Amino acid sequence: MNTFELYLQLGIGHIADFKGFDHILFITSLCAVYLFKQWKQVLVLVTAFTVGHTTTLALATLHIIHFSSKWIEFLIPITIFLTSVANMFERSESVRPGSQHFKYGAAMFFGLIHGLGFSFYLRSLLGFEHSIVLPLFAFNVGIELGQLLIVFIVLTLTHILVNWLKFARREWSLVLSGAGMGISLILISQRIPW
């Protein structure tokens, strides 16, 4: 296995690892109010998140910026909580344009925080690498593929429940968002850095 394949698999594994379920929970909360027919909005939203986390993943991995891992691990569930709370205000069948623009900005900002979380793991893997550019790129591509898989699973589950089993869309969104809020509050209380 070459370097690219190795770090690609590590990136996919990191985002899809249930031990690090906070990133899965964030992506799930991010997609909780969308249907498959809104895939363009979801794509832009996930891209905004990607721009944010790619930026800080690169800067932190290259040691250009430094943050305390305790604070980042505390802030990650706060991003989940805030995303889930914002979902509670979506009452219509489609996400309002003004709300959508706010979500893009918030996703990018929250991506900055998550990228720092990814960087702590990646830096621990890079100890023996001579050049970190290819591993950094491959790891980030792996994270993106993992995120897209999570988005696909959430939207598929939503499609099945809403369109086939006739669950009310709003109630399903509230279930996903409520789970995000509850779990994130537990994580916040466990990760208080002082």
CB count within 10 Å of CB 103 equals 23
Identify the CA nearest to 103 among candidates 5, 34, 6.
34
CA 78 to CA 89: how far, in whole Å? 17
Percentage above 70 pLDDT, the chain = 96
**pLDDT band of 94, cuts 50, 70, 90:** low
Helix axes 3-16, 21-31, angle to 10 degrees: 70
CA 62 to CA 176: how far, in whole Å? 36
pLDDT tens digits for 98-149? 778 889 999 999 999 999 999 988 888 887 677 888 998 999 999 999 999 9
Chain centroid offset of residue 66 CA: 21
Which residue ranges make up each domain of the chain? Answer: 3-190
How many residues does the structure list for the chain? 194
**pLDDT band of 93, cuts 50, 70, 90:** low
